[in-house]
Amino acid sequence: MGEVKPNEEEESNAFLQLAECELKVDAIEKDVAQYRLDKMKSVYQERDGLVNKIPEFWKIVLSQHTDFANYIRASDFTYVDCIQDVKVEWDNVDEFKIIIKFDGIKDDFEAQTVTKQFKRQKIIDDTKSKEDSDSDDDDDELEKLISEPVDIKWPKKYEDICPESIQDKKSPEGKKKYRQGMKSLFGWFRWTGLKPGKEFPHGDSFAELIVDDLYPYCVKYYTEAHRDLEDENDDSDSESEGELDLSDDEGNENEPKRRKL
Amino acid sequence: MGEVKPNEEEESNAFLQLAECELKVDAIEKDVAQYRLDKMKSVYQERDGLVNKIPEFWKIVLSQHTDFANYIRASDFTYVDCIQDVKVEWDNVDEFKIIIKFDGIKDDFEAQTVTKQFKRQKIIDDTKSKEDSDSDDDDDELEKLISEPVDIKWPKKYEDICPESIQDKKSPEGKKKYRQGMKSLFGWFRWTGLKPGKEFPHGDSFAELIVDDLYPYCVKYYTEAHRDLEDENDDSDSESEGELDLSDDEGNENEPKRRKL
């Protein structure tokens, strides 16, 4: 790269200090997350009890959520509809469990409650070698979500794709079935985060979706889903935006998706 | 609806209590947000100074961010590239200003720093009439982001769509130009949140994108964008997922977008 000019030195100093700054930011985010959990704990418990009294609460939340469906197979929704309850319990910011209670389906799927435990852990980022990185603003340490595989009884209908019942895992057909199973909702319960590419894909994001989005905002999602369902049954075109000035111009749709409510 | 059965009564009680619960949740979220701001204040100030020393920091962040481009016109990026600095200053959780510093373009666009002030306000939701809502779990009060229009000098190239220079706002052509201007980045600076449909579309979400996402996570976005740019220039196929077991199956893409880093 030749000699280092004063400007370059100032710039690379800025990068170093920025990296330190980000560590401070991360530490504050952790502290804030813990503060939030402590404050929310009793309200969440109260809410868990109330939500249980509302029929099909989780079925409505999960089937209407935009992102949730992207993680699992369309056919899994038969069993998503069996989900009677979803609970998240935090030991602390970095350790939590997701507890899912399934109703059964006669002759196909056994009613059960499954608890999956998660942990955030610092790991060394081995996806890039030391030589590759020519900047010092990364300390090569990543935080990663990991979990333990947990037993769940698969539906009878999924017997041909359930890893445990597949005898032949070598033939193209056997491999295909195996993959289909691993990518199903049931495959996620085996996810550990330690064998990337060999497990349920994006198992960490799926867990985070539940923990950081679906569970905290479940009532808002339920209300929204309920309104959408009512709107579908509603003929009146009372939408406020329909009659207004800018909306008949097709030039620029400006309709980005919003995640939070 | 006929007579109210015991189950229905329990259910509607649950809804009432759930609504109260959500008010508690909202109050805690506010409290947590304020706690976060207080903790972050000095780190953000330090970071603002460092970011300023890195050439094209905001140009890279803004041009590489997935959502940002959805809000404005493609041609606006000429002026997005002029953005030298973005700062957010909070008076408190519900009141903040976004300060944007533009470099100029000779003979087209004047260098300037523009400060836009925002406020979250409780308003009565007049999009639904009392008769429409048959549930009591809404108190018809919404929190809304509003702002004041702020002067900004438009580029010469935008003279034909700048609301102030359009003489004829009645003809179809005049209306079209007016709308194009209102939907541009510069139209956003006039956004108030009080005339839905007649202003920059989704001006509130655009402000929230900057305040809740772009500004807090700017360094993470910069790092990510930088890596992406490096990857584009990189021929080696060293991506870890490329060689692994599940990824060659096309059945289920499982690639949902993640917003946070």
**pLDDT tens readout for residues A101-113:** 999 999 999 999 9
Exposed, middle or buried: residue B25 (CB in 10 Å: 0-12, 13-18, 19+)? buried
Q: Report the pLDDT value the prediction gives residue A123, as an integer from 0 to 100.
A: 77
* Between residues B10 and A76, the one the model is more confident about: A76
Instruction: Looking at the complex, report in whole angstroms how far the Cα of residue B172 sits from the nearest Cα belonging to chain A.
Output: 11
> What's the rounded Cα separation, in Å, for the pair B118 and B203?
11
pLDDT tier, B165 (very low <50, low <70, confident <90, very high otherwise): confident
Say whether pLDDT at A68 is over 70. Answer: yes
What are the b/e assignments for A126-156, b being 16+ CB within 10 Å? eeeeeeeeeeebeeeeeeebbbeeeebebbe
Using CA coordinates, name the residue in chain B closest to A212.
B260
Per-residue confidence (pLDDT) for residue B142, from 0 to 100: 79
As a whole number, mean pLDDT of residues B129-156 equals 73
The answer, yes or no, to whether residue B136 has pLDDT greater than 70, is no
The span from the CA of B199 to the CA of B193, in Å, is: 8
3-state class (DSSP) for residue B257: coil
Yes or no, beta carbons of B24 and A35 under 8 Å apart: no
CB contact under 8 A, B11 and A201: no
- pLDDT over threshold 50, residue B243: no
Cα–Cα distance measured from residue B166 to residue B169, given in angstroms and rounded to the nearest whole number:
7
Q: Domains, chain A, ranges and CATH?
A: 55-125+139-230 (3.30.1120.90)
User: Which amino acid would we find at residue B7?
Assistant: N
Per-residue confidence (pLDDT) for residue B166, from 0 to 100:
87
| Burial grade of B42 (CB within 10 A; 0-12, 13-18, 19 or more) | exposed
Q: Is the pLDDT of residue B163 over 60?
A: yes
Q: Which residue of B has its CA nearest to A71?
A: B254
B-chain residues near A247 (CB < 8 A) = 197, 201
| CA distance, residue A51 to nearest chain B CA (Å) | 7
Closest Cβ opposite residue B246 in set A50, A55, A198: A198
Q: Which residues of A touch B202 (CB under 8 A)?
A: 254-256
Collect all residues of chain A within an 8 Å Cβ-Cβ radius of residue B30. Answer: none
pLDDT of A126 over the 80 cut:
no
- B75-96 pLDDT, tens digit each: 999 999 999 999 999 999 999 9
Tell me which DSSP letter residue A139 carries.
-
Do residues B249 and A198 touch, judged by C-beta distance below 8 A?
A: no
Contact A18 B51 (CB under 8 A): yes
Q: Looking at the partner chain, which of B54, B199, B220 has a beta carbon nearest the beta carbon of A14?
A: B54
For A137, nearest residue in chain B (alpha carbons): B223
SS3 assignment, position B173:
helix
R_g (Cα) of chain A, nearest Å: 23
How close, in Å, is residue A61 to chain B by CA atoms? 15
- Give chain B positions within 8 Å (CB) of A46: 17, 21
Q: What is the pLDDT of residue B125?
A: 60
CB B116 within 8 A of CB B189: yes
Does the pLDDT of residue B259 top 90, yes or no? no
Q: For the segment B33-56, what is each residue's pLDDT rounded down to a tens digit?
A: 999 999 999 999 999 999 999 999
Distance from the A54 Cα atom to the nearest Cα atom in chain B, whole angstroms: 6
pLDDT of residue B34: 96
Given this model, what pLDDT does residue B250 score? 39
Give dist(CA A97, CA B161) in Å, integer.
55
Query: Residue B203 — very low, low, confident or very high, per pLDDT cuts 50/70/90?
Result: very high
Higher pLDDT, B102 or A250: B102
What mean pLDDT is predicted for residues B193-219? 95
Closest CB from B54, B198, B241 relative to A244:
B198
Q: Is the pLDDT of residue A168 over 90?
A: no
pLDDT digits (tens, 9 = 90+) for B220-231: 999 998 887 777
Helix axes A218-232, B6-51, angle to 10 degrees: 120
Q: Which amino acid is at B134?
A: D
Average pLDDT, chain B: 84
CB distance B70 to A254 below 8 Å: yes
Higher pLDDT residue, B168 or B132?
B168
Residue linked to tokens 């603003």? A137
Q: Which amino acid would we find at residue A27? A: A
pLDDT band at A134 (very low <50, low <70, confident <90, very high): very low
Is A191 or B231 the better-scoring residue by pLDDT?
A191
State the pLDDT confidence band at B134, using cuts at 50, 70 and 90.
very low
CA B78 to chain A, closest CA, distance in angstroms equals: 17
B82: three-class secondary structure by DSSP: coil
- Whether A259 shows a pLDDT value over 50: the answer reads no
Paired strand residues for A92: A95
Question: Which range is least confidently modeled, A119-128, A153-162, A222-231, B4-13?
Answer: A119-128
Distance from CA of A88 to the nearest CA of B (A): 16
ipTM of the complex: 0.77
- Select from B25, B188, B229, B235 the residue whose CB has the most chain A CBs within 10 Å, as the one to mutate to test that interface: B25
Bridge-based pairing of strands A141-147 and A112-124 is: antiparallel
Indicate the pLDDT class of residue A142, thresholds 50, 70 and 90: confident
